[in-house]
Chain A
């Protein structure tokens, strides 16, 4: 059976400076309004409870933390400033530190930021009349990608926790 790990719990609490996670009294306002509840069974109040009990290792290794759609309703409505959103983001950060499985989309976005400075690649689009358009033939200015020094600076930032 899983055992609580209070060291890991402390790690999450450190990342959440200022948020009163322990004050959660399970009113379930967060879960009742959660965008990801119906389709992906995310239950923010359970996440808070599990962190409070010290089951952080299990959560950091679980797929459930990647189902949050970041609509921010949970923390808006939380009467106790427990912010499930921030707890979930802290758990994701911890999962990355531990090299747990991270959805491909996030890895791709971050490597694109490192390569080009932007999280998305520039696309050609097709109009309703099936003509191809891009920034150039739409007469939009060229994208001002960051200068070379950005890459090293971003790498440095990625090394910090």
Chain B
């Protein structure tokens, strides 16, 4: 199948490993990704300043997706997925806001399409591609790995909006990891937030949240943490050293994107999955797979 993809800002500007691993793995599952011809911020940081303008930005993304002629849009970022889901709901319920946004879009020749179905990496793979198809595609099972998963906040809450997984007991990412041959463990801090959104205003608190969660997960003796959001990747992987310093912890803990693991299980070379770009010590995890 063909699906349009909106990457958001963070993936395009620093979380290259997530983008590379999605671009490598999806075609192997017979999914053709179609990039938008133009992109813009989903509206997340603007939401705090001007809700109307944030909804306009999110609606513009859906209008750009409409230009592809495709009905499905993949949004691999949790924050973008939330902001665009909420904008969709506002535009559907509040005709005054909706009409004005449609008007502004029209000035650029853009057409808002409320019927575009949006997906995150997790529900797209779990619900649409399906666990069976993923299992069938695996050529190098990740046997012997024990992992913890972190679904993140904004793809699972708030349920009324229609989210990717259960708000209090998300299982889909675990099930997806299981299909690759690895084992998942449950842990008390599973729903704890990475803190990324505080990077705008309270950097130390943000890093402290990330460091505290990583300290707990590391203490359970698992081989690594699996994420599927560029913000969580930024906090747990890219900023792991800063998080350790701020939280006063000793961290030496592999953090990978789910699509990187998927790529390994599908037999894709490490470099193509951006595994050289992770800042956390993923070599420990990789040597366990090849052993």
Instruction: Using CB atoms and an 8 Å cutoff, list the residues of chain A in contact with chain B.
Output: 15, 17-18, 35-36, 39-40, 66-73, 75-76, 89-90, 92-93, 96, 102-103, 105-106, 109-110, 113, 117-123, 125, 127-129, 131, 133, 135, 138, 140-141, 143-147, 149-150, 152-154, 156-158, 160-161
Residue from A71, A113, A121 within 8 A of B153 (CB atoms)? A71
Q: Is the CB of B9 within 8 A of A120?
A: yes
Given A118-B9, A145-B38: A156 in contact with B104 (beta carbons within 8 A): yes
B104 and A125 within 8 A (CB) = no
| Bound-state Cα–Cα, A156 to B53, Å | 8
Binds A, one of B137-145, B173-181, B193-201, B256-264: B193-201
The A-B contact count (CB < 8 A) is 185
Given A39-B205, A69-B193, A89-B47, A118 contacting B40 (CB threshold 8 A): yes
Docked pose: A158 CA to B14 CA in angstroms: 27
Interface residues of B (CB under 8 A from A): 9-10, 12-14, 16, 19-20, 23, 35-41, 44-53, 56-57, 60, 82, 93-94, 100-101, 104-105, 107-108, 153-154, 157-159, 167-168, 191-193, 195, 197-202, 205-206, 208-209, 274, 276-279, 281, 283
10 residue pairs of the A-B complex, CB under 8 angstroms, read A15-B51, A67-B202, A93-B51, A103-B201, A119-B9, A119-B45, A122-B13, A125-B277, A147-B38, A156-B107
Q: Is the CB of A161 within 8 A of B276?
A: no
A141-B35, A147-B38 known; A70 vs B14 contact (CB < 8 Å):
no
Contact A128 B279 (CB under 8 A): yes
Residues of B close to A69: CB separation below 8 A: 193, 195, 197-198, 206, 209
- Complexed CA–CA distance, A66 and B100 (Å): 28
CA distance A73 to B197 in the complex (A): 14
In the complex, the answer to whether B277 meets A76 with C-beta atoms within 8 Å is no
**Given A138-B20, A144-B38, A147-B108, list of 12 further CB < 8 A pairs?**
A70-B153, A89-B47, A105-B199, A109-B45, A118-B39, A122-B14, A128-B281, A131-B276, A143-B13, A144-B35, A157-B52, A158-B50
Residues of A within 8 A of B277 (CB): 125, 127, 133
Complexed CA–CA distance, A114 and B44 (Å): 14
Q: What residues of chain A lie closer than 8 Å to B50, measured between beta carbons? A: 93, 96, 157-158, 160-161
Which residues in A have their C-beta under 8 angstroms from that of B16? 125, 133, 135, 138, 140
